Each structure stands twice: as structure tokens, then as C-alpha cells.
Amino acid sequence: MSEMFDQIKKRRTFAIISHPDAGKTTLTEKFLLYGGVINQAGSVKGKATAKHAVSDWMDIEKERGISVTSSVLQFEFGGCCINILDTPGHQDFSEDTYRTLMAADSAVMVIDAGKGVEAQTRKLFKVCAMRHIPVFTFINKMDREARDSFDLLDEIEKELGIPTCPVNWPIGSGKQFRGVYERESGQIELFEDTMKGTRVGTVKRIPLDDPEVSDYVEEDALELLREEIELLDGASAEFDQELVDAGELSPVFFGSALMNFGVETFLNHFLKMTTSPLPRTSDQGVIDPMEEEEFSAFVFKIQANMNKAHRDRVAFMRICSGEFDAGMDAWHVQGGKKVRLSQPQQMMANGRKMIERAYGGDIIGIFDPGIFSIGDTITSSGNKYAYEGIPTFAPEHFARVRQVDTMKRKQFIKGINQIAQEGAIQIFQEYNTGMEEIIVGVVGVLQFDVLIYRLRNEYNVEILLDKLPYEHIRWVENKDIDIRELRGTSDMKKVKDLKGRPLLLFINSWSIGMTLDRNEGLVLSEFGRE
């Protein structure tokens, strides 16, 4: 038994969040490099390999027109077993990206030093903040002209509302980048140009007060650094592990993923500061992986039709406690049935593989004959508890859906409801209308294509989409309000979702405030909670 708890304890399951192009792929690749999973062999090649490994699974889906997968990369480093959850960005940003964060115990936030906090980072951060998980900041691309470091930290604090605590501090940026000063040790880690990471850098450290330091760093840069350190010591928050654990303080690191600079240092600190698998809330209280011996997991993502011929699905689950053995029987709480967990697979850095065993903290994909829904609980201890459900995240694009051939009404309704139940899209209905008027909401526009493709291929139904101008959606949290009585704005639409929860759609963000002003006591939320 203690072997099992030891295994769980060494797990570190985290997601990397960032805006496209901030360097998430490059940083992930460098993690794999230090984890010994891929070889140095020049970063350009290394990057291609890593990218390939990461996106292999996605390519399969793309061929079928179904994108959006969060893969998981597992490797060992520094005595830890690391699970990196890939959060799809770019064009395949979707609700799954948010759901993936529900399976992580912490997040690494990559910020482009030249750009600061960007739109997608903001959205993903909100989900981390909702869960109060630790967030670590890596300010990347210091080898390029960067914005003032104090400004960057200010922006994180103001825009994201989280105080920061720099673990190290950059000395210059771009051509003048000389390295980082490590606050705790008082040492400078010297930057070395690794020719875009094609050469392995040697890490040279030198105490700031060593006279030799001026051989490496210009006098005026040293002077500025000393001033900045003084400022930092006086103004910035002190490191406090408890605040970090509560997601109320973000340790900050500076570096350059491309140049392999600051990545290993980051990894070493991060693994000490981040958490092993966290307890999770169930309807019977908190379940602690360090106490619960039985296997338990929840489904956070369903991948439909990996093999079209069989119409099979893969349910991705996060193991919360205990040990998983291939082919084991378990209890599906929501279905009220015993199920066999078969064909378990795990994404490794170098491909997908069948697995025999996994532990609390790990992510596995299980063959799903169509019985699981997002948020479902599976346990080996029977019907004792169910984990808290996964919220519905606010879509940002909306369209009215019409079928081309009205004779196929039944298939259309069945198809669109099933696809919505899997969580690939959200569907809404206006009050007082039937299913003939369906509004579809998605987080990423690619999901519209997925919908068209899947209805055509799986249900033989052609549809037309009329894009709607709504951009903001809010769930009405008040239980005692008749939504029809609400006084809104002219751009507002009242709808209900698949679960019958009332929602408001808005074109303009300022209308949300106006509606709140006009209806005393109204509580609106960006998340649709169970």
C-alpha cells in the first residue's frame, strides 16, 4: 500500500497555459529534453520531434476533421513523475482547453516578455483562479527586447489579480541580456548564447559580490541590477509557500526557452514548490489521495469517434486516488453500473501506448461504449461518492443552426443533442420556442466545423449556420428569479441551456453591467455550475 502512496506522492500533474506564440511548445520541448525523453540534437530538430510527438494524436483527428485533443506527456525528472497536460491553443482552442485545466493540480503560465499578459492567458488564468490552484509564471524570450520587468509584474498583478514573487531577476534583455540574478542564493546565472539552443549551454553561476562579476556584466548593468534588487526587496511580496499553494501568489522566473536558459532552474524550483496530487471535493466531502486507498477518477474529456467504423469514443479521466490496473472493474456512479475499464491508454512523450498500471495524479484514456459523460465519477469502492461536476465554460461564438433537409428532423435533433452531451458544443434554446430554433455556442470557431462534419458523417444531416453577433454569455445564478421578468438591454437575448439553466446573451460587454444595474440582486456567472 505504501508503494502506491509513494507513487502518488511523486506525481506532479500540471498544465502549461499561454497565449499562442509565447513559447509553450518550446518550453514543453525543453522540459522533455531535461527529462531525458528527447535528445539535444540541436533544438531545431529537437523542436520538430517534440512538436511531432505532441501533435501526433491531433493529426489523426485532423484527418477526420475532428480536432481538439488534450494530450498528456509523462516523464520522470528529479525523482518526480511529471504529467504535462497539453492545453490546445491556436486554432483548436476550445472548451476542452478549459476542461483540461480541471484535471491539473497546478499551472505554468508562459508570458512573452515583449508582450506581457495576452487575451488567451487571461481566459485560462481565470479558470485556474476559480480552482485556486498554484500558478507559476515563466517570463520567456528574454533573449529578445523585453518590456520593463517591473511593468510586466505590475500587469500580471493588475490584470490577473495575483501578486507575484520573483524568484530570479533578469539582467538586461535582447542583445544586452546577461543572465538572471537568483534572489535567494545571491548568485548570477550567466546567460550564454546557445545559438538558438543548437549548442548545449554550460551553466555558470557567480556571486553578485564576486569582483570577477564585472568580467561578465557591464558596470552600468550591475548598478541597475543592484538598484532593482533593492526596490524588489522593499516592494515585492515575500515568498510564501502557503500563499502559492492557495493560488494567491505566483512565483516568477525569467528565461529563454529557445536558448535553454533558465529552464532547468525553473524546473528544479517549480518541482519543489508545486504540489503532488491534490484532494478533490465530492458530494461526501473532500477525498484525499494520500488517505483514500480505493481507485477513483473523473471524466474531464470525451473524444468521439477515434475509429469511425466502430463509432467508439475515448473517455479521458483523471485518477484522483488509488491505483488503476488494466481491465479492472469499477463502479460508474452516474450510470449506476459496474463497468470494465478496458483498452487503457496514455499519451507518452513518444506516442500513445497501452498501459497496465496508473496512479492517482495520472491521466488515462478509456474505451467508452457511449456511457460516460463529462464530469462522471468512477470508483472501485462502489456508490460511495461522486466528485463535483465540471462547470460549463462560456462560449464566445454563437450561431443559429438550421437543417437543410427538414425531413431529417429526427436525426438532426438526435445528432446535435449527442454532440452537445459529449461537450463538443453547447446548445441553447430561446424561451417559448421548440427545438426548431437552436442556438449553438462554441469557445473556438473550429468547433463549428466539427459540428458540420460530424452531423454530415455520423448522422447524415446537412446544416446551415447563421452566425449571431453575441460575444458574451452569463448564467443566471439566482434560483428564485423568473428570467422573463428581467429588465435587460436591447442587445440582450434570454435563452436556456441543455440542462434548462437560464442564460443571457449579450453583444456588448457593457450591457452586462447595465443589466446588473437594472435588476437588483441579480447574480451572473461566467461558468455554468452544476
Please report, as ranges, the residues that interact with ligand G4P according to CB under 6 A.
Answer: 18, 20-26, 47, 89, 140-141, 143-144, 256-259
Shortest distance, position 134 Cβ to ligand G4P, whole Å: 21
Shorter beta-carbon distance to ligand G4P: residue 191 or 387 = 191
DSSP state of 61: H
Shorter beta-carbon distance to ligand G4P: residue 26 or 296 = 26
DSSP state of 201: P
Shorter beta-carbon distance to ligand G4P: residue 47 or 280 = 47
Shortest distance, position 391 Cβ to ligand G4P, whole Å: 25
Shortest distance, position 102 Cβ to ligand G4P, whole Å: 21
d(CA 495, CA 428): 6
The CA-CA-CA angle for residues 88, 93, 99, to 5°, reads 70
Shorter beta-carbon distance to ligand G4P: residue 26 or 305 = 26
Identity of the amino acid at 95: E
Shortest distance, position 96 Cβ to ligand G4P, whole Å: 17
Shortest distance, position 251 Cβ to ligand G4P, whole Å: 19
Q: Which residue has the cell 456588448?
A: 508
d(CA 300, CA 316): 6
Distances (CA, A) of 249 to 27, 111, 129, 175: 22, 16, 11, 31
308 φ, ψ to 5°?
A: -60, -35
Instruction: Judge contact between 17 and 124, C-beta under 8 A.
Output: yes
* Angle between helix 43-63 and helix 24-34 axes, rounded to 10 deg: 120
Shorter beta-carbon distance to ligand G4P: residue 143 or 189 = 143
Q: Do the strands 11-18 and 106-112 form a parallel or antiparallel pair, or are they unpaired?
A: parallel
Mapped onto helix, strand or coil, the DSSP state of residue 210 is: coil
Shorter beta-carbon distance to ligand G4P: residue 149 or 305 = 149
Instruction: Judge contact between 156 and 137, C-beta under 8 A.
Output: yes
Shortest distance, position 35 Cβ to ligand G4P, whole Å: 17
Shorter beta-carbon distance to ligand G4P: residue 148 or 329 = 148
Cα–chain center distance at 165:
22
Shortest distance, position 67 Cβ to ligand G4P, whole Å: 16
